C-alpha cells in the first residue's frame, strides 16, 4: 500500500545547526504570524540506486528512512521547478515491490542496492499564518553522510530547507527567500542531500555519457532530432509511474509519446540509421497497441455515456445505462491487465534499454551533420506527399467500409506528417508550425470520423446483446443513427480542411 503527496521546497546553505542566531526573524513575511519551535528529531536514511546511479541521473530518489513522523520508504519523482511527488510505503527490510515497479522505467531492470547512508539531526520550526494555519516547515539539518557499510570517505555539512504545506501558495517561497537573502543566506549548491552526499563521499556522481556532444555538430539536423528524441524518451520514462498508478490521462499521454517517437524515427531515417531505429519502432508500435486497448475503451466509454445521458428520458427504453456499465467494466478490467502486463514485460525493458542506447550513442548518418532546414524540410514534405496520396485514394471511394478504412489510413498519415513538423519548429519556424497546425485540423476531423466508426461497431454489438436478452433496441438504434450523422458531418467538413492543409504555399515555404 502506498500514499503520495506533492512537496514544494527549497534548500539553502546554513552556517550552523547549533547556533542559529544567523537565522532572521521571518515573522511578518508574507502572512507569517509566528515561527514555532517544533523540537529536534534524528533521521537515518539509506538511499538505494543502481550501480551506475540511474535514479540519481533521472533526478529521482529512493530511500528507507527511520525517525521522524514519516518513517518508511520514500520514492521522490520530479514534477517541475521546486516540486516533487513523494510516494511512501510502510517500513520494511527490502524495497517494496510497488516502489520497485515505479522505478522500473528509470532503472531499466538493474538491481537496486544501498548506495549511501545519510543521517540528520533536524531542528524543526513551523511557519504559522493567521488562525494558526501551518504555512510551511523550516528545518535546519546537521547532516552526516557515508557509505551504507560505514567505510570510505565521510562528509558533514549543515543545510536548511523550507517546505510548503500542501495548500500554501508557492509565492511564499519567494518572499521567504528574499528575507533569507537579505541576511546573506543563499540557495544550496546541490539540488539534494543525495547529490551532495554522492559527491562529497567520493561515491561519485551519476555517470551521464558525454560522447554524444562531441559527435554532433551544434545547430545540425542531428542535434535537432536527437533533442526531440531525448525529450520524448524522458517523457516516456516519467509517464511510466503515472500509468502504473492509473492516474488521469496517463495512458493517453504515454501512448501518444510512443506514436511521436515511432513516427519521428521513421520520418528522419536520413539522420538516424534505420538498422538501429527499426527494431525500436517495432517495439514502440507494440507498446502503443497494448496501451491503446485501455485508451480506446476509455474514449469509447466517455463517448457513449455522454450520448446516452444527453437523450431525453422518454427516448431511453430498457436498461441502457446498466448494460453500458457492465460492458465497460468487463472491457476496462481486461485492458488494464494488458497494460500492466506490457509494462512488466522483458520486451518493454528491452525497449527502454534500446532507447537509452540510442540517445547516448546515436547511430548518426551523414546527413545528421548538415544544416536542419533542407534535411528536415525534405522529410516533412515526403510525409506530406504520402498523406496526399492517401487522401486522394480515400476521397475517390464511395461511402462504405472501404472508404472508412482508407480515411483511417489517411488519419495515420496526417499524424506522421504533423509529428514530423514538431522537431522542425525551431529551425524551420513558422512554415513548420503552420503546416503542423493545418494537418492537425485534418487529423482531428478524421479522428472524429474514426471515433464514429468504432462507436457504431460497439453499438451493433451492444444491440445484439440487448436483443438476445429480450430488451428494447430502439435507444441503441437511435445512438447508432447519431454516430452515423457525426460521421457524415466529418466527411462533409473534410474537403475544406484538407484544401487548407494541402495548399501549394505551405509546401513552397518548406522548400518546394
Write phi, then psi, for 7 (nearest 5 degrees).
-120, 135
pLDDT of the residue at 216? 82
Beta strands (DSSP E) in 14-169 are 34-49, 61-66, 72-80, 83-89, 113-128, 134-146, 155-164
| Contact in structure between 278 and 248 (CB atoms under 8 Å) | no
Q: Helix, strand, coil proportions of the chain in percent (round to 5)?
A: 55, 20, 25
Phi first, then psi, for residue 94 (nearest 5°) are -115, 165
At residue 207, the pLDDT reads 60
Q: In the prediction, which pLDDT does 205 show?
A: 67
- Tell me what pLDDT residue 262 has: 97
pLDDT of residue 139: 96
Specify the pLDDT at position 417. Answer: 97
* Cβ pair 33, 128 in contact under 8 A: yes
Q: Nearest CA to 355 among 251, 283, 271? A: 283
Cell of 19: 547556533
The answer to whether 251 and 339 have CB atoms below 8 angstroms apart is yes
Mean pLDDT by 10 residues, the chain (512 residues): 87 91 94 95 97 93 94 94 92 96 96 96 96 95 91 91 93 95 94 91 68 70 96 97 95 97 97 96 97 93 95 95 93 94 97 96 94 94 97 95 97 97 95 96 97 96 94 95 97 96 90 61
158 C-beta neighbours (distance < 10 Å), count: 17
Contacts of 48 (CB under 8 A, 6+ apart): 55, 62, 63, 64, 95, 112, 113, 114, 115
Q: What is residue 204's predicted lDDT score, i.e. its pLDDT?
A: 74
Amino acid at each position: 500500500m502506498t500514499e503520495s503527496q506533492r512537496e514544494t521546497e527549497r534548500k539553502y546553505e546554513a552556517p550552523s545547526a547549533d547556533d542559529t542566531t544567523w537565522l532572521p526573524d521571518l515573522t511578518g513575511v508574507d502572512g507569517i504570524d509566528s515561527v514555532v519551535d517544533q523540537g529536534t528529531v534524528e533521521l537515518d536514511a539509506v538511499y538505494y540506486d543502481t550501480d551506475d546511479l540511474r535514479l540519481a541521473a533521472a533526478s529521482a530518489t529512493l530511500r528507507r528512512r527511520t525517525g521522524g513522523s514519516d518513517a518508511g520508504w520514500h520514492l521522490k519523482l520530479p514534477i517541475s521547478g521546486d516540486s516533487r511527488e513523494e510516494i511512501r510505503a510502510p517500513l520494511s527490510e527490502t524495497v517494496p515491490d510497488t516502489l520497485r515497479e515505479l522505478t522500473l522505467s528509470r532503472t531499466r531492470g538493474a538491481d537496486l542496492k544501498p548506495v549511501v547512508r545519510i543521517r540528520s539531526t533536524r531542528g524543526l520550526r513551523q511557519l504559522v499564518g493567521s488562525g494558526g494555519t501551518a504555512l510551511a516547515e523550516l528545518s535546519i539539518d546537521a547532516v552526516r553522510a557515508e557509505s551504507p557499510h560505514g567505510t570510505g570517505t565521510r562528509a558533514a555539512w549543515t543545510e536548511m530547507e523550507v517546505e510548503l504545506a500542501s495548500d500554501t501558495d508557492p509565492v511564499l517561497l519567494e518572499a521567504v527567500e528574499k528575507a533569507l537573502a537579505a541576511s546573506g543566506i543563499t540557495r544550496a549548491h546541490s539540488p539534494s542531500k543525495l547529490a551532495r552526499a554522492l559527491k562529497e563521499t567520493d561515491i561519485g556522481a551519476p555517470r551521464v555519457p558525454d560522447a554524444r556532444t562531441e559527435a554532433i555538430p551544434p545547430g545540425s539536423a542531428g542535434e535537432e532530432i536527437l533533442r526531440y528524441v531525448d525529450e520524448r524518451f524522458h517523457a516516456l520514462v516519467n509517464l511510466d509511474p503515472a500509468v502504473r498508478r492509473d492516474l488521469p490521462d496517463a495512458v493517453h499521454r504515454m501512448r501518444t509519446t510512443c506514436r511521436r517517437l515511432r513516427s519521428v524515427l521513421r520520418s528522419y531515417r536520413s539522420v538516424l540509421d534505420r538498422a538501429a531505429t527499426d527494431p525500436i519502432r517495432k517495439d514502440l508500435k507494440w507498446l502503443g497497441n497494448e496501451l491503446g486497448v485501455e485508451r480506446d475503451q476509455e474514449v469509447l466509454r466517455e463517448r457513449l455515456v455522454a450520448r446516452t445521458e444527453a437523450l431525453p428520458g422518454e427516448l431511453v427504453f430498457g436498461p441502457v445505462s446498466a448494460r453500458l456499465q457492465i460492458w465497460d467494466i468487463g472491457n476496462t478490467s481486461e485492458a488494464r491487465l494488458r497494460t500492466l502486463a506490457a509494462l512488466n514485460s522483458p520486451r518493454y525493458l528491452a525497449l527502454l534499454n534500446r532507447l537509452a542506447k540510442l540517445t547516448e550513442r546515436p547511430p548518426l548518418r551523414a546527413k545528421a551533420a548538415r544544416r536542419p532546414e533542407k534535411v528536415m524540410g525534405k522529410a516533412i514534405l515526403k510525409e506530406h506527399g504520402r498523406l496526399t496520396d492517401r487522401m486522394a485514394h480515400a476521397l475517390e471511394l464511395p461511402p462504405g467500409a472501404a472508404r472508412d478504412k482508407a480515411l483511417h489510413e489517411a488519419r495515420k498519415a496526417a499524424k506522421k506528417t504533423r509529428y514530423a513538423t514538431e522537431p522542425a519548429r525551431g529551425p524551420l519556424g513558422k512554415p513548420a508550425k503552420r503546416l503542423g497546425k493545418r494537418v492537425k485540423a485534418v487529423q482531428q476531423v478524421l479522428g472524429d470520423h474514426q471515433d464514429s466508426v468504432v462507436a457504431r461497431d460497439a453499438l451493433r454489438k451492444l444491440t445484439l446483446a440487448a436483443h438476445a436478452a429480450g430488451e428494447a433496441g430502439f435507444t441503441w438504434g437511435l445512438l447508432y443513427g447519431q454516430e452515423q450523422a457525426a460521421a457524415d458531418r466529418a466527411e462533409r467538413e473534410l474537403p475544406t480542411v484538407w484544401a487548407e492543409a494541402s495548399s501549394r504555399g505551405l509546401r513552397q515555404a518548406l522548400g518546394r
